[in-house]
Structure 1
Amino acid sequence: MMNPFLFICFFLSFSLSAEMVKIPAGNWRPFLKETNFKLGETIKVKSFYLDEYPVTQKDYFEFIEANLQWKKGKVSSLFADGGYLGDWKGKSPDSRTANSPVTYVSWFSANAYCQWKGKRLPLESEWEYVASFPPPGKNKKDMESIILGWYGEQKPEFLPSVGKYKNRLGIYDQHGMIWEWVFDFNNTSVTGDSRQDSDLESSLFCGGGSLKANDFSNYASYMRYGYRAGLKGWYTAKYLGFRCASNVNIKDNPI
């Protein structure tokens, strides 16, 4: 007879695998200096699971139905600003956008959702590592063109359903649709304090020569880092959503 504990672990592992993609281990070089690493140092990213798609409005509605403290109008201002779920006319999403990424969510609410699912928010290094893989048949320059096109285009009133952009690892919509929360969104700094540092961050913040006009990859990455650096955990925004991650050993998830 199968050990009940082993069955539960098998079931959880299967469930995670069914809705998440297992990301292979690899190396990633941060665009800016991270807190615990030197500038230019390569970071080893362990294998982990990442949601195939951003969390949708339908997914998030299920979460708040089970966790009433996160309903629109009930969340403390300590955990989400007044824009929380601002595109929901009532207490539920518009039927036209049920499969669109949920936005107007704070770091606290995104983190709570992932914990409810038995998962966690991805680390910045994990998110950026996966995001560095271009779509099948494309190269990094093609990918950067997509990103820069999204930065410059007029944003739609209603976001499309998930599944628009797919990278080589099978992860959808990291680029070209929304910004996404990561667990350590304030891990790097492009604020005024960084001007005191004699490194790349200082040059980038001041718009110095290291930010080359023809270096699209640097510009696209700088925009993401700059956006994250301006966030606070309770902020919400029209094009800011999230997805969840999980360690390969699910018992290691910080819940």
Structure 2
Amino acid sequence: MRGWWLVMGMCAASASLAADYVPLPGGSFASVIAADNKSAPAQIKPFRLRTEPVTNAEFLAFVRAHPQWRRDRVAPVFADGQYLSRWASADALGASELPQQPVTRVSWFAAQAFCESEQARLPSWYEWEYAAAADAHRADARSDPAWRDRVLDWYSRPSNTPLPLVGGDADVHGVRDLNGLVWEWVDDFNALLVSGDGREQDGADKVRFCGAGAANMQQKENYATLMRVAMLSALKASDTTNNLGFRCARPE
């Protein structure tokens, strides 16, 4: 029996490494968060991004291969009490959680550990925002009011409804489900609202986003993206939520 579980773990690791990653060219990008805290664009190196969010089935294979990340074994410092609470048990999804739904209720620590198992990492905010700006025909569709309205409409939907399956329409890069499915962890989530001035770097500095404090943010018409910045910056690395998942990235 022990040998069977070892084989299963090896198969899970092999399947994990086979996940699809596509190249994105990078370049100069006008982020909602200026690189110099004023107006400078972000400079993004070419990278590869997972085409879809990590699914329940993929994360289940991961925790079976790495049992320290089971919800009944994970150290409290690495995940809150609701970690993987949507699953029926520590090693089974149950009837209400489908294998091809995006996994949620995962902490930043757990997401990073999964990405490392794919020889990858979580994307940076700039990488994620750059990829999420695309639609099926354009690398940057953010100036299109219809694109902004579709994204904002999803953000306004209740978060307690069942999640769709992964596998939506691909964008111009071949990436799916960046908008309209789940929120996603990024590597530097806890630094998004820290000032570029070292004298002001006293934590997440979340007050800067609220009300008139948002005046230093770029592209205020792209409100949905600003909402994502505010939400991510309010989290701790051990936090989990019903609509927060992740995908991984690799350097090109």
Of the structure 1 ranges 172-181 and 15-24, higher mean CA displacement relative to structure 2 is found in: 15-24
- Aligned position for 2:108: 107
Residues 1:121 and 2:122 aligned together: yes
Identical counterparts, % of pairs: 33
Structure 1 residues 167 and 155, CA gap change in structure 2 (3 angstroms): same
Is residue 2:160 matched to residue 1:187?
Answer: no
Q: Which amino acid is the alignment partner of residue 56 of structure 2?
A: Q
Aligned to 1:205: 210
Q: Within 2, Cα distance between the matches of 1:102 and 1:209?
A: 31
Structure 1 position 204, deviation (Å) = 4.6
Per the alignment, do residues 202 and 68 of structure 1 end up closer, same or farther by CA in structure 2, a change over 3 Å counting?
closer
Residue 48 of structure 1 is matched in structure 2 by: 47
Instruction: Tell me by how many angstroms 1:16 deviates.
Output: 6.8
In structure 1, the residue matched to 2:168 is: 164
Q: What is the CA deviation profile of residues 39-78 of structure 1, one whole-angstrom value per residue up to 9, with x for unaligned ones?
A: 2111221111100000000000110010000012111110
Give 1:165 shift: 4.5
Matched position secondary structure for 1:147: helix
Shift of 1:210: 4.6
How much has 1:94 moved relative to structure 2? 3.2
In the alignment, is the contact (CA less than 8 A) between 2:46 and 2:251 conserved in 1?
A: yes
Assess, with a 3 A threshold, how the Cα gap between structure 1 residues 23 and 105 changes in structure 2: closer, same or farther.
same
Aligned pairs for 1:217-232 (under 5 A) are 217=222, 219-232=223-236
Distance 1:57 1:18, change over 3 A: closer
CA distance in 1, matches of 2:84, 2:213: 38
Q: Which residue of 1 aligns with 2:76?
A: 77
- 1:154 maps to amino acid: P
Residue 99 of structure 2: aligned partner: 98
Letter in 2 for 1:180: E
Partner of 2:65: 66
Quote how far apart the aligned CAs of 1:169 are. 1.4
| TM-score normalized by the length of structure 2 | 0.79
How much is the aligned-residue C-alpha RMSD, in angstroms?
2.8
Which whole-Å CA distance do the structure 1 matches of 2:115 and 2:141 have between them?
Answer: 32
Please, what TM-score do these two structures have when normalized by structure 1?
A: 0.78
Cα 1:74–1:142 shift into 2, 3 Å: same
Unaligned runs of 5+ in 1: 1-14, 249-255
CA positional deviation for 1:135: 2.9
Query: Contact between 1:48 and 1:247, CA under 8 Å: does it hold in 2?
Result: yes
| C-alpha separation in 1, matches of 2:66 and 2:214 | 49
Offset of residue 114 of structure 1:
0.5
Tell me if structure 2 keeps the 8 A contact 1:53–1:172.
Answer: yes
Q: Deviations over 1:78-117 (max 9, x none)?
A: 0000010011012222355100100000000000000111
Q: Alpha carbons of 1:220 and 1:154: their partners in 2 closer, same or farther (altered >3 Å)?
A: same
- Report how many aligned residue pairs link the two structures: 223
